[in-house]
Structure 1
Amino acid sequence: MQDIKNALIKKLSLILPELPVYDEAVEQGMQQPCFFVLLMEGNQARGINRRRQRFNSFDVHYFPDRDAAPREACELMAERLYAEIEYLTGSEGGYRGTGMRHEIVDGILHFFVQYNYHLFRERDPEVKMQTMTQGGGLK
């Protein structure tokens, strides 16, 4: 999950390098306009044998400039995010965003996207026999 979050933050930084991207709650000194990346939900589904599928839902907040028309700025940013963050490249591979949608609440853009990926769980170590002594003879 952290690899996806880091890839998303990196992608947002490349799209608009002049805007700060936060991934933790900032109580003081938040500069606007900016992005805030929040992992909303993560879950895992079991597949066949040792296969697993992970689902990670993110909410990318966009806080527009206080001096600009907030609704218009949020709508323009939403259009840009649909095009820009569908595909991410992390250190562990590529990710494709699904279920993208957005809403504007109180002048703040909430852009929802889900990144899913497959896992292959390692086998548990097998217990091997230590030694065996065989006895026998002919009668």
Structure 2
Amino acid sequence: MQDVKNALIKRLSLFTPEYPVYDEAVEQGMEQPCFFVLLLESSQAREIDRRYKRFHPFDVHYFPDPDAPALREACEQMAERLYSEIEYIRGAEGGYRGTGMRHEIVDGVLHFFVQYNFHILREREPEIKMQTMTERSWIK
């Protein structure tokens, strides 16, 4: 889960190096324009045998420059960039593809929703092996 979040933060930092990216609540001193990455409610679904699917939905907030004359327009332009820039991200564990992308603008802040889903394979538990066996046979 942390690998996906770190990969998303890294990707945001690479395509907009002039904007800071925050991943936790910042009480004071938040420089705008900036991004704030929030992991929403994650979940897991069991599939066949040891295979599971994990769902990681994110809400990427974009706070535009408060002095910009058209906040909504700045948010719309950033949303267009985000659709292509964060569809594919690469973390230490591998690559991830964003799905279910959508956005909305609330009170001059862009909320860009994206979900990164992937499969995991749990380790197989060791099998109990037979220790000894006594065999008897006779012929009639």
User: What TM-score, normalized by structure 1, do the two folds share?
Assistant: 0.92
Q: How does 1:1-139 map to 2 (within 5 A)?
A: 1-68=1-68, 69-129=70-130, 131-132=131-132, 134=134
Q: Deviations over 1:54-107 (max 9, x none)?
A: 111000000000101211110000000001000001111110000000000000
Q: Deviations over 1:101-132 (max 9, x none)?
A: 00000000000000000111111122334x53
- Number of residue pairs the alignment of both structures matches: 137
CA distance in 1, matches of 2:94, 2:135: 55
Instruction: Point out 4+ residue stretches in structure 1 off by more than 4 angstroms.
Output: 133-136
CA distance in 2, matches of 1:51, 1:113: 23
| CA distance 1:118–1:71, shift in 2 (3 Å) | same
User: What TM-score, normalized by structure 2, do the two folds share?
Assistant: 0.92
Amino acid at match of 2:72: R
CA distance in 1, matches of 2:72, 2:112: 14
1:41 deviates by 1.7
Q: Which runs of 5+ in 1 are unaligned?
A: none
Q: Which runs of 5+ in 2 are unaligned?
A: none
CA distance in 1, matches of 2:111, 2:74: 13
CA distance in 2, matches of 1:133, 1:67: 82
